[in-house]
Amino acid sequence: MKSLRFGIVGSGYMAKTHSLALRNIGSFLWPNMPTIEMVRLADIDERAAEDGAMRWGWHEAATDWRSITRAEDIDVVIIITPNDSHEEIAIDAFAHGKHVFCEKPLAESAEAAARMAEAAARSGKIGVVNFVYRCWPAVELARKLIQSGDLGQLRHFQGHFFQDYANDPTLPFAWRFDLDRSGGGAIGDIGSHISDIAVSLMGPISRVTASSRTYIDHRPTANGPDSRVTVDDMTTSLVDFASGATGAVHASWAATGHKSDLNFRVIGTRGAIHFTWERNNELHVYTDTGRTDSDGFRRIVIGGVHPEAAPFWYAQGQGLGYGEAFVITLRRLIEAIRSEDTAVSPSFAEAAHINAVIAAMIRSSESGTWEAVADLMVRQEEHLKDLAI
């Protein structure tokens, strides 16, 4: 494959990260990448489409996403629009023979996400969901240590994703604060990332109990009265994994003092792991040495010896960041397209399980009881065997 032709739907915040990844990946992975053609960017807002195309180097701007999903000159569709629009765009793209790279959460509801996973499977095309954090070098190292048995039998996962930008009551109302459009507030937006890490390391979640709070219940709109917020600012949840391990998953975008604290611990019978995105080039690992006078956590610094970090800066400790994370997931997508590997991860099926977990947390926060997670993915049942848990 000499070249791959991309179209992108959406020209908001994510246009920057995806466009820079597309522009840079060839240089990082030269000569092992096809030539990337950035053919067309579409946004319903014409001005945003034109500005985005000009700024980020897309050849053409458009206002109708069908000019991408149905175009002869596009191979891959990137979807970076609000969550409630992903389904229609992705299903149309698969139906017209395109590969799809979709932002997370996969959809605004578990039902929509399940339909998208089914469409991806039926199409025979590659579908990847951009759960960037689970593909991060330190998180991949955690996965490798777990799979090699260094932690023993897994007992517990404790994770949170805390930010504080939405603690500001003057932050305007937007689709993220509308349950019908987003499918969940902090728990759907950043909670989907930490839930995805939990599942990708520990296997599927079978049931949850959760409690949610909305601290700022109205937000200003540009022209008119304040709009009512219909999502959570904080959700705290206990989870049971199908393996029998226990967990706790919390998410808030109003967690004072926490800037981008995606943070987890995995505890096993013989070892433990700790990671936080705020020190994202480090992984803290404890393995039982049997020497009680000198055992403790080791700090491992990420760099060129770790496979996902290798294309960037060779020396350990030079540091990768958010921008590189998008190159890492884009590489997965492109390599899956080249090898026709429809079992690539993070898949639509895996992301549909995360939507089901989020939906169960929202139900539990209303019912006050444990709620079963509706689906259990076949692939992750197999993944359990790999983890030997």
Ligand X SMILES: NC(=O)c1ccc[n+]([C@@H]2O[C@H](COP(=O)([O-])OP(=O)(O)OC[C@H]3O[C@@H](n4cnc5c(N)ncnc54)[C@H](O)[C@@H]3O)[C@@H](O)[C@H]2O)c1
What is the closest distance, in whole angstroms, from the C-beta atom of residue 48 to ligand X in the complex?
5
Nearer to ligand X, 9 or 242 (CB): 9
What is the closest distance, in whole angstroms, from the C-beta atom of residue 103 to ligand X in the complex?
3
Residue 162 within binding range of ligand X, rule CB under 6 A: no
Q: Which residue is nearest to ligand X (CB)?
A: 12
Dihedral, CA of residue 171, residue 231, residue 127 and residue 386, to nearest 10: 120
Do the beta carbons of residue 208 and residue 371 sit within 8 Å?
yes
What is the closest distance, in whole angstroms, from the C-beta atom of residue 297 to ligand X in the complex?
27
Residue 155 within binding range of ligand X, rule CB under 6 A: no
Cα 342 → chain centroid? 18
Distance from the first to the final alpha carbon of the chain: 40
Nearer to ligand X, 130 or 209 (CB): 130
Per-residue binding string, ligand X, 256-295, x by CB under 6 A, is ----------------------------------------
Question: Which of 19, 24, 130, 345: binder of ligand X (CB under 6 A)?
Answer: 130
Residues 219-258 close enough to bind ligand X by CB under 6 A: none
Residue 349 within binding range of ligand X, rule CB under 6 A: no
Do the beta carbons of residue 129 and residue 350 sit within 8 Å?
yes
Residue 48 within binding range of ligand X, rule CB under 6 A: yes
Residue 118: name the closest of 278, 326, 349 by CA: 349
Residue 12 within binding range of ligand X, rule CB under 6 A: yes
Nearer to ligand X, 212 or 329 (CB): 329
Binding segment toward ligand X, per CB under 6 A, in 4-12, 240-248, 297-305, 379-387: 4-12
What is the closest distance, in whole angstroms, from the C-beta atom of residue 266 to ligand X in the complex?
22
Residue 362: name the closest of 376, 347, 373 by CA: 373
Pair type for strands 271-276 and 282-287: antiparallel
User: 92-98 contacts: CB < 8 A, separation 24 or more?
Assistant: 92/65, 92/66, 93/68, 93/69, 94/119, 94/120, 94/122, 94/123, 94/125, 94/127, 95/119, 95/123, 96/69, 96/70, 97/123, 97/125, 98/69, 98/74, 98/125
Do the beta carbons of residue 201 and residue 346 sit within 8 Å?
no
Residues 90-109 close enough to bind ligand X by CB under 6 A: 103-104
Do the beta carbons of residue 364 and residue 212 sit within 8 Å?
no
Per-residue binding string, ligand X, 170-189, x by CB under 6 A, is -------------------x
Q: Give contact residues for ligand X (rule: CB under 6 A).
A: 9-14, 42-45, 48, 65, 80-83, 85, 103-104, 130, 132, 189
